[in-house]
Structure 1
Amino acid sequence: MTIELTYLAYTIALFFVVVLVQATTGIANNGGLAMANARDNLKPPTTIQARAKRLTDNFRENLWFFAPLVLIAAIADVHTQWTVLGAQVFFWARLAHAVWYIAGLPFIRPLFWLAGVIACGMIFLSLFGMLA
Structure 2
Amino acid sequence: MSIELTLLIWSAVLAGAYLFVQSTIYRLDYGVVHAGTPRDDEREPNKWTSRGNRALRNFLETYAVFIALAVATELSGRSDALTQWGAQIWFWARWAYLPAYFIDVTFLRSSVWFVSAIGLFLLFVGVAF
Q: TM-score, normalised by structure 1?
A: 0.91
Within a 5 Å distance, the mapping from 1:16-55 to structure 2 comes to 16-55=16-55
Task: Give the distance between the partners of 1:101 and 1:84, measured in 2 at CA.
Answer: 26
Identity of aligned residues (%): 28
Tell me, in whole angstroms, the C-alpha distance in 1 between the residues paired with 2:64 and 2:81. Answer: 22
1:38-64 C-alpha deviation (Å, 9 max, x unpaired) = 011223211100000000000000112
Aligned residues: 129
8 Å Cα contact 1:51/1:102 also seen in 2: yes
Shift of residue 11 of structure 1?
A: 2.2
Tell me the equivalent position of 1:92. 92
RMSD over aligned CA atoms reads 1.2
Query: In the alignment, which residue of structure 1 is the partner of 2:9?
Result: 9
Name which of structure 1's ranges 92-101 and 53-62 shifts more when overlaid on structure 2: 92-101
Structure 2-normalised TM-score? 0.93
- Partner-residue secondary structure (3-state), 1:4: helix
CA distance in 2, matches of 1:26, 1:108: 23
The Cα shift of 1:16 comes to: 0.9
Comparing 46-55 and 27-36, the one that deviates more: 27-36
CA deviation profile, 1:101-123 (whole Å, cap 9, x unmatched): 02233212111111111111111
SS in 2 for 1:103: coil
Distance in 2 (CA, whole Å) between partners of 1:128 and 1:52 is: 34
